[in-house]
Amino acid sequence: MTLTLAATGTEAVVSDGAVELLRYVFAPGTAQLESPKPYLHPIRTRAGREVSLFRPWDHMWHKGIAWSLPVVDDENFWGGPTYLAGQGYVQLPNDGTQSHTSVAEAGVDDDVARFAHDLEWVSEGGRRMLSERRTLTVRVLDETTWALTVETAMTNVTDAAIAFGSPTTRGRDNAGYGGLFWRGPRSFTGGRLVTADGVGTGDGVRGQRHEWMAFEGRHDVVDATSLIVMADAAENPHHPPQWFARSEEFAALNPAPFFSEELHLPAGDTVVFRYAVGIADADAEAAPGIAAGLRLLL
């Protein structure tokens, strides 16, 4: 196993020998309607099987794995329409941008690939709201599994508190999405969601609180199963999070820190979130063991 990291002015690619594990596009050329933001796609297992989906027609702002927030005060850093109580989803001129400013670190040391960069969160109207340092690491855990960690430190650069929320905090029941969001391949639709309590579906587990959750999905073309495991750091606000998880219409996992409760960040303060994601050529039975390994990274 030899991890390599190659970076350009817009993206960083981490490879495991001949297999490209992930491509992190940190300066995308995205339409404003989709709230331009860095994203991870494609994402592959060590066997080279793709486990992410980019810009699906049903939600064009879904892009692999992305740190994506639909309610930042009255601004939308998710993409598309905004949920308004009594009106439903309305397209507003409020789709903000997470804009890359500089690379802080990029390389491989002791078999850990690391990429860190700085960003500015700017509303569609041009208001600078947050500065962020984001750090990603990649390491191989065993013959079938590798791990991604994502840490974000966001600082309020306005002169007033900022409220982070979700469509649920604005009145839509059981729609608390926002945060680190994974969208899976079309073939994963109907897959199995795994928690420490067992196996279920999106309808069954959505909104529940868990330290970790996993998604088992099957691939087209090859007779194979892959597993995505996401773990929330114990120090994260509102831990353990409620999960926005789907399998019945499409495959999605999202430890949603503002699912049903807003977080207020005072002016000048910084909030930190950390996550670990396991990507495995495995099935649901492997989820608890992978989750235990991910906890060691948090």
**What's the pLDDT band for 116 if we cut at 50, 70, 90?**
very high
Long-range Cβ pairs for the range 170-175 (8 Å, 24+): 170/71, 170/83, 170/84, 170/85, 171/83, 171/85, 171/86, 172/83, 172/85, 174/206, 174/207, 175/83, 175/244
| Per-residue pLDDT, 292 | 98
Whether the Cβ atoms of residue 246 and residue 147 lie closer than 8 Å to each other: no
- What percent of the chain stands above pLDDT 70? 100
Residue 104, number of CB atoms within 10 A of its CB: 13
Residues 211-225, mean pLDDT to the nearest whole number: 97
What confidence score (pLDDT) does residue 4 get? 98
Residue 247 has what pLDDT?
Answer: 95
Mean pLDDT of 17-24: 98
DSSP 63: B
For residue 203, name the pLDDT band (cuts at 50, 70, 90): confident
pLDDT, tens digit, 9 for 90 and up, residues 121-177: 999 999 999 999 999 999 999 999 999 999 999 999 999 999 999 999 999 999 999
Instruction: Read off the pTM.
Output: 0.97
Mean pLDDT of the chain: 97
Question: What string of DSSP letters covers 162-173?
Answer: EEEE-TTTTT-T
How much is the pLDDT for 1? 63
Confidence of residue 257 (pLDDT cuts 50, 70, 90): very high
Report the CATH number at residue 232: 2.70.98
Q: Of the candidates 162, 12, 190, 148, which has an alpha carbon nearest to the alpha carbon of residue 73?
A: 162
Tokens 């991604």 appear where? Answer: 148
pLDDT(2) > 90? no
Strand, helix or coil at 90? strand
Q: Count the alpha carbons within 13 Å of 233 in the hemisphere toward its beta carbon.
A: 15
Number of domains in the chain: 1
**Residue 201's pLDDT is what?**
81
Residue range of the domain that includes 74: 3-295
* pLDDT-above-90 percentage for the chain: 98
Backbone φ and ψ of 31, nearest 5°: -65, 145
